[in-house]
Amino acid sequence: MKWKPFLLFFLVVLVGRSIFSIFTKSPQTNRQYLQEVIETHTLDKTAKAVMARIKDNPQQQPLSQEAWEQMEAGLIESMKVRAKIYVESNDPYLDATANDETPKVLSTRFLRECGVVD
């Protein structure tokens, strides 16, 4: 699917804000932050919010409720799998201190890997 640039930006901001709003405490690494996101099921909530926005897009073709539920479940699973793989990786970014950009970086990464954004 082709998404308009403003919709992509909106989705990334929405995901990033929803993830970041939960974790505004003491400094932690990006790895610790991502681990908390996984443990608190924030990825589930994020995927549901993204799918709700996509579904509400007036340019979206109508689909059955079952199709939407399958797509949502698929996105949730995809984001969880990718997050777990990434948190166990040796990526140096994960050892840096988490900051305001962390939610945006992580959400963009997972949404891209799951095929939601380009």
Q: For 47-56, write each residue's pLDDT tens digit.
A: 898 888 888 8
Report if residue 10 sits inside a domain. Answer: yes
Domain range enclosing 71:
5-113
pLDDT of residue 63: 85
Report if residue 118 sits inside a domain. Answer: no
Report if residue 78 sits inside a domain. Answer: yes
The 10s digit of each residue's pLDDT in 65-106 is 898 899 999 999 999 999 999 999 999 999 999 999 999 999
- Percent of the chain surpassing pLDDT 70: 78
- The structural domain count of the chain equals 1
pTM summary value: 0.73
Cβ atoms 109, 102 nearer than 8 A: no
Confidence of residue 22 (pLDDT cuts 50, 70, 90): low
